[in-house]
Structure 1
Amino acid sequence: MNEILDELARVAQERDARASDARLASRVLEIKHFQQARFRHTYADLLASTRFGPATHFFLDQLYGPQDFTERDHQFERVVPALVRLFPGEIVATVKALTRLHALSEELDGAMALALPRSTEAGALDAIDYVRAWQAVGRRTDREAQISLVREIGFALDRYTRMPMLFASLRMMRGPARVAGLSSLQHFLESGFDTFKSMHGAQVFLDLIGERESAMVAALFDPAPLAPGRHPALVQLP
């Protein structure tokens, strides 16, 4: 329980910093939109796939996008004891991974926003600025942890599709979850389950995510010259 609250406290700290600095908030949003565009670029083939498209959209919307998860975070903060008491232990473990990923991503996005050149006009973020900010922040271990957490959450959702009793229990939680103020979490879990169930096996999909994201991390940390078409990462960015 404390682990979830600790991660949410990290997210709240990032949110408070942006609330007191409009420019920082704007630059973080630019980072998030750029990353979402990069994801669409990197996974255009999966987004167009009948089999993998829904899962790719789920990841894009729930893990990579610029959406405001304040409501979901506040739900977690208010009812973590109820969450731990009401939901099966395996689902609680997935929620821990989700909050860890959320906190880590928010911290890295905030650090990158601070690393962007002050001279760059808002709304003018390009691939070279993005690579420079990425390299200035560093934290390669945390970048690799992000990939591991995404895969962990994906494999957990896939595993649930082969545990009908577990998902039956989750379906039964709709009423209590709504009363307890956990409707956003309930929606995330059910949407993830339905999406992964329709894929009929997530190994190939999650392996592709791992391979491409790991290649992207390696390219972004490459010290090659930052000139269009010359840095390894630039050809992979929108």
Structure 2
Amino acid sequence: MNQPASAADRIRTHLDRVQQLRLQAQGAGLGAAVNEVKQLQAQRFRATYADLIQDPACAPATRFFLDELYGVRDFAQRDAQFGRIAGALERLFPEAVAQLAVDLAETHALTEVLDHELARQWLSLDPGLSRAHRYTLSWRLADDRPARERQLAVVQHMGLELQRLTRMKPLRLALRMMRNPARAAGLDSLQHFLESGFDAFAALGDARRFLDTISERESRWISTLFDAPPEECSRALAAELARAPGQG
């Protein structure tokens, strides 16, 4: 009987998938399209969660999700650091911390798979289309509803785990004490991610309302992008993009 994969093996599998996608994007000329898709999504997130960003209690957790999970930047350095210490996470930290790292790696891999498929469809469509209409058509051509729902479920689980872990004061103290050793070991990007998550959810307090808000809004957008008439969906998306801070 096969043994279930360890947390370290699952982390490395997800990160290997991300690295393969990076190489494929370079070879297929997809890099610019992936960036366009990510920029549009980041703009939509800024609009959808503008109220949470303005809420002092929710702002750190909101920025953590938008910057560390869905940010428009190169995560290659952080990925490499996670891969290097995947085994050590299992040995040195409680099981819940290792699972948190698995959740991050899975979310990261799902996001990259979805964004790369959107980019492929984006390139197949007329560049003269409006961004909102082109994105709507790309989303439907990608046809990946189960992966979208899985992505949202993993993010919810990660949030609940972060809330639970932030209540373990010895763990938070140990994390802070790792700053200098992490920097010396070249693990500063990973350290920043962990501390950002812990600090954000410690400030949040009860995460349920925050996570329920994300679940409700993202579920609504998933339904709209898959099920609403295309023109209606494009108009709704265009209006949401226009609401993003710094637009208009």
Do the two structures share a fold, i.e. TM-score over 0.5?
yes
Q: Does 1:13 align with 2:20?
A: yes
Q: Which of 51, 55, 64 is equivalent to 1:49?
A: 55
CA, structure 1 residues 97+119, in 2 after alignment: closer, same or farther (shift >3 Å)?
closer
Q: Does 1:227 align with 2:231?
A: yes
CA contact (8 A) 1:79 1:181 kept: no
Moved more, 183-192 or 26-35: 183-192
Show the counterpart of 2:99: 93
Q: Which of 175, 191, 196 is equivalent to 1:191?
A: 196
How far has the Cα of 1:186 moved from its partner?
A: 1.6
Q: Which of 150, 154, 165 is equivalent to 1:149?
A: 154
1:120-139 paired onto structure 2 within 5 Å: 120-121=126-127, 126-139=131-144
CA, structure 1 residues 109+156, in 2 after alignment: closer, same or farther (shift >3 Å)?
same
1:69-80 paired onto structure 2 within 5 Å: 69-80=75-86
Show the counterpart of 1:82: 88
How far has the Cα of 1:70 moved from its partner?
A: 0.4
Question: After the TM superposition, which parts of structure 1 deviate over 6 Å for at least 4 consecutive aligned residues?
Answer: none
Matched residue of 1:72: which SS? helix
How far has the Cα of 1:196 moved from its partner?
A: 1.4
- Kindly provide the CA deviation profile for residues 118-142 of structure 1, in whole angstroms up to 9, marking residues without a partner as x: 35449x7611111111111111111
How far has the Cα of 1:48 moved from its partner?
A: 1.4
Aligned-pair RMSD on alpha carbons? 2.1
CA–CA separation in structure 2 for the residues paired with 1:233 and 1:3: 35
Using structure 1 for the length normalisation, give the TM-score. Answer: 0.90
1:206-217 paired onto structure 2 within 5 Å: 206-217=211-222
How far has the Cα of 1:83 moved from its partner?
A: 2.8
Structure 2: stretches of 5+ with no match in the other structure: 1-7, 243-248
CA–CA separation in structure 1 for the residues paired with 2:241 and 2:134: 12
CA contact (8 A) 1:82 1:180 kept: no
Code of the aligned partner of 1:181: G
Code of the aligned partner of 1:5: R
Q: Does 1:165 align with 2:164?
A: no
CA contact (8 A) 1:29 1:66 kept: yes
CA contact (8 A) 1:79 1:180 kept: no
CA, structure 1 residues 227+184, in 2 after alignment: closer, same or farther (shift >3 Å)?
same
Kindly, what percent of the aligned residue pairs are identical? 43
- Kindly provide the CA deviation profile for residues 101-156 of structure 1, in whole angstroms up to 9, marking residues without a partner as x: 0001100100010011435449x761111111111111111101111111111111
Task: Give the aligned length.
Answer: 235
- Kindly provide the CA deviation profile for residues 158-191 of structure 1, in whole angstroms up to 9, marking residues without a partner as x: 1122111222232233344334433222211111
